[in-house]
Amino acid sequence: MAVDTRIIVLASGRGSNFCALSDAISNHTLTNAKIVGVVSNKKGALVLKEAEQRNIPTHLIDSKNFSLNGIFQRTEYEKVLITTIASLQPDLILLAGYLLVLGKEVIAHFPNKIINIHPSLLPKFPGLHAQRQALEKGEKVTGCTVHWVTEGLDEGAMILQAKLKILEGDTEATLSERLLPLEHATYIAAVQLLLHSLKH
């Protein structure tokens, strides 16, 4: 029997992408893969509850505990993050609404393993509020991108991209809501591609 690819998810929020990926494994859309842990920097994040309900081990590394005189101690935080991730022995690390930028130590520690989903057609509109940025620029089409994670914000090579028409009257909220199912499908498809390439 093939050994399952070990996946971990890093997330800070509600975790709808995590849920979609986890469901895709449960219903065998994604095969030979297992989510072996969810790591979050945010206490109380909904994604942690979703993972617990699915009996997936959770790891909270509360970034609020890594503040000294109001300054985030990234190096200290990332030491713990690296140890936690390494203990899970992942083959793939999926960022899904993980709101901290990963420093170069983390990226160097897990080469060719970390991917992210971003709600725009990168290289357009990296960073926060990508949907709002697209609307403000008067774009007619936006979408989402799954890409490798590098030190540059939302800059790594693209794995898969999907497009969505912007409708007359779309707001940041309606556009984000319509984009979400496409994000889920695109993330699942991108992971499927990688699972195939990992096998060969």
Residues 50, 22: Cα–Cα separation, whole Å: 10
Amino acid letter, residue 172: E
What is the side-by-side order of every strand in the sheet holding 5-10?
58-60, 33-40, 5-10, 92-95, 114-118, 141-148, 158-165
42 forms part of the interface with ligand GRF (CB under 6 A): no
Is residue 90 near ligand GRF by the rule CB under 6 A?
Answer: no
Taking the alpha carbons at both ends of the chain, their separation in whole angstroms is: 15
Token representation of residue 187? 């993330």
* Contact string (CB under 6 A) for ligand GRF, positions 93-122, x = contact: ---xx-------------------xxx---
Please report how close the Cβ of residue 96 comes to ligand GRF at its closest, in angstroms. 5
- Say whether residue 41 binds ligand GRF (CB under 6 A): no
- Residue 143 within binding range of ligand GRF, rule CB under 6 A: no
Using CB under 6 A as the binding rule, whether residue 17 contacts ligand GRF is answered as yes
**28 part of the active site:** no
Question: Least Å distance between CB 1 and ligand GRF?
Answer: 31
- Cβ 138 to ligand GRF shortest distance, Å: 21
User: Judged by CB, which is closer to ligand GRF: 90, or 119?
Assistant: 119
CA 169, CA 50: separation in Å to the nearest integer? 33
CA distance 85 to 83: 6
- Please say which residue, 81 or 130, places its beta carbon nearer to ligand GRF: 130
**Within 10 Å of residue 1's Cβ, how many Cβ atoms?**
4
For position 156 contacting ligand GRF by CB under 6 A, the verdict is: no
> What distances in angstroms separate CA 99 from CA 15, 39, 110, 170, one per listed residue?
12, 12, 19, 25
Q: Which is catalytic among the residues 59, 118, 147, 184?
A: 118
- 147 makes contact with ligand GRF (CB under 6 A): no
Chain contacts with ligand GRF (rule: CB under 6 A): 11, 13-17, 96-97, 117-119, 183
| Catalytic residue ranges | 118
